[in-house]
Amino acid sequence: MNHLIAPSILAADFANLQRDIEMINNSDGDWIHVDIMDGMFVPNISFGFPVVSAVKKHAKKDLDVHLMIVDPDRYLKAFKDAGAASITVHYEACPNLHRTVQYIKELGCRASVAVNPHTPVLLLEDIVADLDMVLIMSVNPGFGGQKFIPNTYKKLADIKELAARKNPGLYIEVDGGVDGSNAAKLVEAGATVLVAGNSVFSALNPVQAIADLKSSGL
């Protein structure tokens, strides 16, 4: 499949969020990535339900909601109701991961599991067949603008091999430090969805930055 681009609005101008959502609507971006942080699972706080609902009102692309929170089961339905098309929970935050994944699917959302840089993807072997997507964190979660961790390429190759055996249609998403310098190599390693924040919103021409990421590796 051709890879997808999911611009992350964590790097958007919050005072002009509608403008930035409309920019994504009119770009080659495929999804809108929404990072939810609770100040506990990660040392930062970002959006709540009112912001997600407001984004949904203007978005013409699917909302790709990434929950970096403890006990995410408490809020899955609320994020679905706020407009999430896909919901990502962290392997590290879910002691009953299979049940969490099944609930996300029952809500009608794409079910996705994220793994932090220190978490081996082989730990997903018994759940990967039930997933719509795996998110490989290429930085430690919590803040934008971090330096890309090179071991990500190996992890992408590992999950690509696992998916080939157990779930060939799996989306493989990568998030953190994605830009024009590594996009093609990430796609080559196995990524099918690129999340990009700072490299899009700090660009002089964000629409062109998205188009460049979309054409990487083609």
Is residue 212 part of the annotated active site? The answer reads no
- Per residue in 99-112, pLDDT (tens digit) is 999 999 999 999 99
> Of the residues 35, 64, 132, 212, which is catalytic?
35
Of 185, 154, 187, 182, which Cα lies nearest the Cα of 172? 187
Residue 123 CA to residue 127 CA, distance in Å, equals: 9
* Cβ-contact 113, 99 below 8 angstroms: no
In the predicted model, is pLDDT for residue 146 greater than 90? no
- Per residue in 148-191, pLDDT (tens digit) is 999 999 999 999 999 999 999 999 999 999 999 999 999 999 99
Of 175, 201, 134, 213, which Cα lies nearest the Cα of 35? 175
- What is the predicted pLDDT for the residue at 189? 97
- What is the predicted pLDDT for the residue at 111? 98
185: Cβ–Cβ under 8 A, 6 or more apart, which residues?
153, 217
In the predicted model, is pLDDT for residue 4 greater than 80? yes
Please state, rounded to an integer, the average pLDDT across all residues of the chain: 96
The arithmetic mean of pLDDT across residues 8-35, rounded, is 97
Q: In b/e form, how buried is each residue of 103-124, taking b as 16+ CB within 10 angstroms?
A: bbeeeebbbbbbbbeebebeeb
Q: Is 177 left (phi over 0), alpha (psi -120 to 50) or beta?
A: left
Specify the range with the lowest mean pLDDT, choosing from 1-5, 105-109, 139-143, 175-179: 139-143
> Of the residues 38, 62, 132, 175, which is catalytic?
175
201: Cβ–Cβ under 8 A, 6 or more apart, which residues?
7, 11, 12, 13, 20
Secondary structure element (H or E) that encloses residue 34, with its range:
strand 31-37
